[in-house]
């Protein structure tokens, strides 16, 4: 990911998981949990032990040091979702992440839809290893290889542990919002960006895509503070676009 700056989710190598792969039911959907050796993005080592549900049904993602090795977390939907609103309610403080920590809330293409570097819609919280870089990143990858992805970056400071992040995806545009607190409305904005290019059929993904969630280390570098990281997703919600 980030063709013109540090790599992010688009280097993701979505490999076929074995039949025994861990599956969890979260927010009404079945998600497969990634569990494999060193691979992109990063590279990172992906552990299924870093993904779980608590007694309230909330999703936990963790970067943890296991057996002397740093491990990351990822899960993704089995099904592909199309145009509509993708909303994530987050418990945690991404504004305070270590510079090497990356949280991704995004869509990513299966091989039959397009290669890496295409058909991706991202919300990422990451400084890409540089403490001076802004933490918030919205990025849209083109429907076909060729054009560069288009990004909008911003810094922010949360007023508490709860925040809501979403993108509304249509054939013509992708519109992003980040907001303080848990909400389905538009109050207490953090950031907003609308990407509506004239050549949307080329620059905006047009085919249904599976949603992904991951928490990982940029270039596989350990957190500079040496601390494990955990975030909680209160809810994932998809609202299909009106036909």
Sign of the CA dihedral running 214, 179, 208, 206: negative
| Residue-level pLDDT at 139 | 98
| Residue-level pLDDT at 20 | 63
Which range (21-25, 94-98, 192-196) has the least confidence? 21-25
Per-residue pLDDT averaged across 44-69, rounded? 97
**From residue 151, how far is each of 74, 91, 138, 241 by CA, in Å?**
23, 24, 6, 23
Across the chain, mean pLDDT equals: 93
**According to CATH, what is the number of the domain 9-13+23-77+95-159+194-227?**
2.60.120.200
| 181 in Cβ contact with 157 (< 8 Å) | no
Characterise 220 by phi-psi region: left (phi > 0), alpha (psi -120 to 50), beta (else): left
Q: pTM, whole model, 2 decimals?
A: 0.92
Phi, psi of 59 (to 5 degrees): -90, 130
**In this model, does residue 16 exceed pLDDT 50?**
no
Share of the chain above pLDDT 90, in %: 90
**In this model, does residue 6 exceed pLDDT 70?**
no
For residues 180 and 242, the model is more confident at 180
pLDDT in tens, 160-180: 999 999 999 999 999 999 999
Per-residue pLDDT averaged across 21-43, rounded? 95
Q: Give me Rg for the CA atoms of the chain.
A: 17
């Amino acid at each position: 990911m980030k063709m013109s700056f540090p790599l992010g989710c688009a280097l993701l190598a979505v490999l076929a998981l074995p039949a025994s792969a861990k599956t969890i039911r979260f927010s009404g959907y079945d998600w497969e949990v990634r569990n494999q050796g060193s691979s992109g993005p990063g590279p990172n080592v992906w552990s299924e032990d870093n993904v779980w549900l608590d007694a309230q049904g909330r999703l936990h993602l963790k970067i943890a040091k296991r057996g002397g090795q740093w491990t990351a977390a990822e899960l993704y939907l089995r099904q592909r979702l199309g145009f509509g609103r993708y909303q994530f309610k987050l418990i945690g403080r991404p504004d305070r992440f270590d510079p090497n920590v990356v949280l991704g809330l995004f869509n990513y293409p299966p091989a039959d839809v397009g290669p890496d570097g295409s058909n991706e819609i991202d919300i990422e919280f990451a400084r890409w290893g540089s403490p001076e870089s802004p933490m918030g990143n919205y990025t849209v990858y083109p429907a076909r290889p060729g054009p560069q992805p288009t990004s909008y970056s911003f810094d922010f400071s949360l007023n508490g542990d709860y925040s809501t992040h979403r993108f509304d995806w249509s054939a013509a545009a992708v519109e992003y919002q980040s907001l303080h607190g848990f909400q389905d409305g538009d109050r207490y904005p953090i950031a907003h960006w609308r990407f509506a290019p004239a050549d949307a059929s080329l620059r905006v993904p047009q085919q249904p895509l599976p949603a992904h969630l991951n928490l990982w280390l940029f270039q596989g570098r350990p957190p500079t503070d040496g601390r494990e990281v955990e975030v909680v997703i209160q809810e994932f919600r998809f609202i299909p676009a009106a036909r």
